[in-house]
Homo-oligomer: A and B are copies of this chain.
Amino acid sequence: MQSGSAVTTQLAAYAAGHQYSDLPANVRQEALRSVFNILGCTIGGARHNGVDTADKALGGFTGPANVTLFGRGRKADALHAALINCLASSIYSFDDTHEQAVVHPAGPVASAAFAVAELQLVSGEAFLAAVALGIELECRLCKALTVPPAKGSMAWSGTGITGGIGAAVAAGSLLGLDMPAMRMAIGIALSQAAGFRAMHGTLCTPLMPAQAAQTGLRAAFLARAGFTSSPVALEGRYGYLSVFSDQPDLDALAGGLGERFEILRNTYKPYPCGIVIHPIIDACLELRRTYGLDASQIASVAIAASPGAMALCNNRNPRDEMQAHVSLHHWTAVCFVRGTARIQDMDADTAVKDPLLMAFQDRVAANLDPKRASDSAEVTVVMTDGSRHTVNIEHGIGSTARPMTNAELETKFAGLVVPVLGQARTRALIDQCWTLASSHDAGALARASA
């Protein structure tokens, strides 16, 4: 257990000394997979209506066009780009998730790091190290707030309140901040940590990570210029840990830095929706496939759901796409009626308001199974003839127990990126991304994604 008396300094010292050459091979690989996955999500989300709305609403206030807006065919200033790119990366709820802490770490980190990589020359190795660092501290912080033995509130947006530290240290390391400046960057970023879950099902859900990306990146620039913050931002009286957790776990935050890596617990979503719905989707698709079920013959569906699924996604009859992201009823209906779970299956017009899907949701009931893990679900269907079928999923696809393979990640990437960049450019981008570590210019990846 670490003493809390200097935990901000401890993290800042680790961040300032962090280097690619010190990282084990599996950490390097997971950083690359995290970049690969979030790049696909960012490009795939780039033309979403919500991203358009934000970019147009704020475009008139933007500065020098130095940084690529992925998939949007133009550049903008670094701070606006970090906001818009991170917004795109999370707008389909299709990004990544730490296995224990409910945080989607790569969006804020990669958006900030890509912005710096277009302002100055950044090698692929330095870029991957910065992303690994940002994800590491973001996941550690979120874990320290809420994962037992920590006690914290479900009401906070995990990514909203921890994304800033990830973006700040990733950008800060690329800017070459020393320990004191890094400590200031962390404090500045944390002073702007924000977000709560009443926003679920609205465009503010992706805006919260986006805001974390922007304020974290800005914190690094401010700290480099000498702007001050508290050197005990985390542990100080009236500090970050005291306001965001009832009982923070300092060991999760700062124990075994450089030895134990939370990034190894980062997972990638196979389906574009709240991660706690994923095992339910696995179960439904398996039921449909195994038993050749016809949705019209299903009388009812009973789901034994994890506490996380019940708390975040027990929302019947969503009214729009953003609400559909977090509706387990919607996705259960999609699985049985369509046999799929794709982005187009939450389209506002052709899916959310599809009468077949809407009617099916009335036959779905979710029940709390208090001891069930978030990556687990059991689904039972009762057919109109009275027969029953049950599938229990111990670990959903994409969990750390059943991780997405690189091939599965490529399929996901292509599904997201081909509609934006076309087949040929997508294929080239996939190859370019997997060889990022040997690139002398990580920004080239951004420019190839315009």
* A54 on interface, CB distance cutoff 8 Å: yes
Name the residue on B nearest A191 (C-beta).
Answer: B204
A157 to B156, CA, bound (A): 17
Name the residue on B nearest A56 (C-beta).
Answer: B225
* A229 on interface, CB distance cutoff 8 Å: yes
CB-defined contacts of A54 to chain B, threshold 8 Å: 222, 225, 227
* A202 on interface, CB distance cutoff 8 Å: yes
Interface pair B222/A57, CB less than 8 Å apart: yes
Given A53-B222, A53-B227, A191-B208, A198:B238 Cβ within 8 A = yes
Q: Which residues of A185-201 are within 8 A (CB) of B?
A: 187-188, 191-201
A33 to B153, CA, bound (A): 41
Given A79-B61, A198-B239, A207:B191 Cβ within 8 A = yes
Given A194-B192, A215-B211, A202:B225 Cβ within 8 A = no
Q: Mark A211-233, 1 if CB is under 8 A from B, else 0.
A: 10001001001101111111011
Name the residue on B nearest A211 (C-beta).
Answer: B192
CB-defined contacts of A218 to chain B, threshold 8 Å: 58
* A237 on interface, CB distance cutoff 8 Å: yes
Interface pair A188/B215, CB less than 8 Å apart: no
CB-defined contacts of A154 to chain B, threshold 8 Å: 238
A204 to B125, CA, bound (A): 33
Q: Mark A306-342, 1 if CB is under 8 A from B, else 0.
A: 0000000000000000100000000000000000000
**From B53, B197, B229, contact of A238 by CB (8 A):** B197
Interface pair B196/A195, CB less than 8 Å apart: no
Interface pair B202/A232, CB less than 8 Å apart: no
Interface pair B187/A191, CB less than 8 Å apart: no
Q: Mark A233-244, 1 if CB is under 8 A from B, else 0.
A: 100111110110
Among A160, A198, A238, A322, chain B packs the most CB atoms within 10 A around the CB of A198
A99 to B309, CA, bound (A): 44
**From B53, B188, B198, B227, contact of A237 by CB (8 A):** B198
CB-defined contacts of A188 to chain B, threshold 8 Å: 204, 207
Interface pair B202/A228, CB less than 8 Å apart: yes
* A203 on interface, CB distance cutoff 8 Å: yes
Name the residue on B nearest A161 (C-beta).
Answer: B194
| Shortest distance between the CB of A397 and any CB in chain B (Å) | 28
**From B57, B224, B242, contact of A57 by CB (8 A):** B224
CB-defined contacts of A208 to chain B, threshold 8 Å: 191-192
| Shortest distance between the CB of A229 and any CB in chain B (Å) | 5
| Shortest distance between the CB of A76 and any CB in chain B (Å) | 9
Q: Which residues of A58-105 are within 8 A (CB) of B?
A: 58, 60-64, 77-80
Interface pair A233/B62, CB less than 8 Å apart: no
Interface pair B230/A202, CB less than 8 Å apart: yes
CB-defined contacts of A198 to chain B, threshold 8 Å: 230, 232-233, 236-240, 242
* A155 on interface, CB distance cutoff 8 Å: yes
| Shortest distance between the CB of A358 and any CB in chain B (Å) | 21
A203 to B233, CA, bound (A): 13
Interface pair A64/B60, CB less than 8 Å apart: yes
A196-B238, A198-B238, A202-B229 are known; give 8 further A-B pairs, CB within 8 A.
A53-B226, A58-B79, A155-B243, A191-B196, A191-B208, A204-B229, A207-B227, A211-B215
Sorted nearest first, the 10 A-B pairs with minimum C-beta distance are A57-B225, A198-B239, A197-B238, A155-B238, A198-B236, A194-B194, A61-B77, A191-B204, A203-B228, A204-B229
Question: What residues of chain A have their CB less than 8 Å away from a CB belonging to chain B?
Answer: 50, 53-54, 56-58, 60-64, 77-80, 153-156, 160, 187-188, 191-204, 207-208, 211, 215, 218, 221-222, 224-230, 232-233, 236-240, 242-243, 322
* Pairs across A and B, CB under 8 Å, 27 listed: A50-B227, A53-B226, A54-B225, A58-B222, A60-B64, A61-B77, A61-B80, A62-B63, A160-B191, A187-B204, A191-B204, A191-B208, A192-B194, A192-B208, A196-B239, A196-B242, A198-B239, A198-B240, A198-B242, A199-B229, A199-B230, A199-B233, A201-B230, A203-B228, A204-B229, A207-B227, A211-B215
